[in-house]
Homo-oligomer: A and B are copies of this chain.
Amino acid sequence: MKNRAISLSTLLFSLVLILAACSNSRAPGSSTAGQPAATTAAADPLPSWNDGPAKQAILDFVKTTTDKSNSKFVPSEDRIATFDQDGTTWVEQPIYSQVLFMFDRVAELAPQHPEWKTKPPFKAIVTGDKEAMAKFTLKDIEVLAMATHTGMTTDAFQTIVKDWWAKAKHPRFDRPYSEMVYQPMLELMKYLRDNGYRTYIVTGGGQDFVRTYAQQVYGIPPEQIIGSALDTQYEYNKEGQGILMRDPKLLLNNNGVGKAEDIYLFIGKHPRAAFGNTEGDREMLEYTHASGGASLEMLVLHDDATREYAYGPAQGLPDTKVGTFTQALYDEAKAKGWTVISMKNDWKQIFSWEK
């Protein structure tokens, strides 16, 4: 697999340089376009979606593929839907939640590491030096990632993430991350599941990280989370019981081509529906499109700076290093009949708590 040898840093964190700046942040609470789901018909499985080509594409796909008399019928064992996470099912701006976890974890561990006060790159975080943080190199990020993600058992890491998760809040919206999920995507997941589709998260983020909360947030069990993964090492603890230690070595870089490769590794077949929002989702959508049968490919375009964020650079939206949606990807989508979801126009309500 391409790029399997690269470091963990490139996995999630290659764009962290903008962390300190966070210049894309916008004022919270300025929602105006949101409409409560209750205003739509009770029978509507997608009440947070406005009528339009995106919603219609979903309804048509489900109708077509679950109708036995239709030539595009998809048998239940092949009904697989894969969702990118960051920027597709929840907010990824101003920076990925897992990067915030990494920085919070360094701060938490700092008392046990007095040497970090003077040792880069830890020093920048411990002393709150945003200028230095803005200059982090990929190597710096890799050092930080390995210090926070490896060297413990898999069980211990799970506990660490759960503890962080219980108190972490989004820097702009000041809400727990469980509330930063997109209501239309939750409805879409449920609608697909209600029609026999198995929903998977296929994320560039850490598989173990996402698995700690995915059941709670998305209703998706651990075995249906495919993500970037570190090597583990089987060892014995003092009681002689088998344990798995997290190794500082990347086993799966689940981004770009890695998403197609890992979907095959984990599931053994093409998805029939795939949802993403960046260059890193291109091959997942292509591989879905290549199933040879009916398929649905959708890309979320963040064009709503008021209710969420606006970035591309596709369609003239502001450029970003977090969740880049290029014009080339947009053009490929149009050429191949993939649907681009406009957050501004297609989503009546983005978050469940919107008034």
> B-contacting residues of A (Cβ < 8 Å)?
1-2, 4, 77, 154, 207-208, 211, 215, 221-223, 225, 229, 231-234, 241-244, 247, 251, 257, 260-261, 264-269, 283, 286-287, 289-290
Contact = CB atoms under 8 A, between A and B. Distances in A.
Contacts of A1: 231-234, 247, 251
Contact of A269 (B222, B231, B243): B222
14 contacts: A1-B247, A1-B251, A222-B268, A223-B223, A223-B266, A223-B267, A232-B261, A233-B257, A234-B260, A241-B286, A242-B260, A242-B289, A242-B290, A244-B287
Given A266-B266, A287-B242, A234 B211 contact: no
Contacts of A268: 207-208, 211, 222-223, 225
A234 B2 contact: yes
Contacts of A234: 1-2, 257, 260-261, 283, 287
A22 B232 CA distance: 38
A247 B2 CA distance: 11
Given A77-B221, A241-B290, A242-B290, A264 B2 contact: no
Nearest to A288: B242
